[in-house]
């Protein structure tokens, strides 16, 4: 089979069109935090490993259990005020994790930030604050949007002017939740803070991590 070569002018237009397409993909205002190969925008002491399919796999090391190893969480390097955080995740049966935001003290994100719960709740009918899509100590989810263990889920977390909206697999599980009013008395809603994904000492996968400042 012969290889057909494009004339220089046609090749230049083809390359230009490709560059324009890539720029258009970036023009939505999002910053890619993890694209399948680059970990430069992430900090962690945990055992997160890049996989052949581009996902990032959390493989607990011997003796790693529970959620109180905060340095092992997957941390975005910058602080964020209002934002949209868009990512995909999956877990095994019994999986557990969480998406944290407005963490103003990294020594204890569970006490000094807010968490949208990630938990295997497939088939569960009655959900509370500690179930999938709930905000720990704050509000339960509106619906159960869980997929089966082993399937990819997409979560989009939006925080603007103190109002939290969470979309999970195309369904709203939180809508305009006023954190200043709904939070417990021992919680502080900081004006800005870190975003992190929990290491609960269980296998967990993430991919396509993107964030946009509002």
* Opening angle at CA 41, ends 152 and 27, nearest 5: 75
* Domains detected in the chain: 31-213 (2.60.120.560)
Residue 27: predicted pLDDT = 62
What value does the mean pLDDT take over residues 97-120? 97
Identify the residue with better confidence: 85 or 6. Answer: 85
Residue 26: predicted pLDDT = 54
Burial 110-143 (b: 16+ CB within 10 A, else e): bebbbbbbbbbbeeeeebebbbbbbbbbbbbbbe
- Distance, CA of 142 to chain centre: 19
Binned at pLDDT 50, 70 and 90, residue 186 comes out as confident
Residue 200's alpha-carbon distances to 12, 134, 204, 206, in angstroms, are 50, 17, 9, 14
Q: Closest Cα to residue 56, out of 97, 17, 27?
A: 97
User: β-pairing, 163-168 with 171-178?
Assistant: antiparallel
Whole-number Å distance between alpha carbons of 39 and 33: 8
Residue 13: predicted pLDDT = 42
Q: Which residues contact 102 (CB under 8 A, 6 or more apart)?
A: 80, 113, 114, 159, 189, 190, 192, 193
Residue 22 confidence (pLDDT) above 50: no
CA dihedral sign of residues 188, 109, 167, 35? positive
Q: What is the pTM of this model?
A: 0.86
Residue 127's alpha-carbon distances to 132, 144, 167, in angstroms, are 8, 7, 16
Residue 41: predicted pLDDT = 97
What value does the mean pLDDT take over residues 31-42? 96
Asked whether the beta carbons of 160 and 122 are under 8 A apart, the reply is: no
Residue 195 confidence (pLDDT) above 50: yes
Asked whether the beta carbons of 102 and 113 are under 8 A apart, the reply is: yes
What integer best gives the mean pLDDT of the chain? 90
Residue 179: predicted pLDDT = 96
What value does the mean pLDDT take over residues 105-132? 96
pLDDT digits (tens, 9 = 90+) for 119-151: 999 999 999 999 999 999 999 999 999 999 999
Residue 24 confidence (pLDDT) above 50: no
Whole-number Å distance between alpha carbons of 105 and 152: 30
């Amino acid at each position: 089979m012969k290889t057909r070569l494009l004339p220089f002018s046609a090749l230049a237009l083809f390359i230009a069109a490709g560059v324009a397409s890539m720029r258009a993909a970036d023009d939505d205002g999002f910053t890619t935090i993890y694209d399948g190969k680059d970990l430069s925008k992430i900090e962690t002491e945990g055992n997160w490993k890049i996989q052949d399919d581009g996902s990032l796999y959390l493989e607990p090391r011997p003796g790693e259990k529970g959620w109180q190893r905060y340095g092992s969480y997957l941390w975005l390097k910058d602080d964020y005020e209002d934002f949209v955080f868009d990512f995909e995740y999956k877990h095994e049966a019994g999986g557990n994790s969480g998406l944290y935001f407005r963490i103003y003290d990294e020594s204890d994100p569970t006490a000094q930030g807010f968490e949208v719960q990630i938990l295997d709740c497939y088939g569960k009918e009655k959900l509370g604050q500690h179930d999938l899509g709930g905000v720990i100590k704050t509000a339960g989810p509106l619906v159960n949007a869980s997929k089966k263990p082993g399937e990819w889920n997409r979560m989009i977390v939006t925080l603007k002017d103190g109002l939290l909206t969470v979309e999970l697999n195309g369904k709203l599980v939180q809508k305009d939740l006023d954190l200043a009013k709904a939070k417990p008395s021992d919680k502080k809603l900081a004006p800005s803070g870190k975003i992190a994904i929990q290491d609960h000492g269980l296998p967990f996968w993430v991919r396509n991590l993107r964030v946009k400042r509002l």
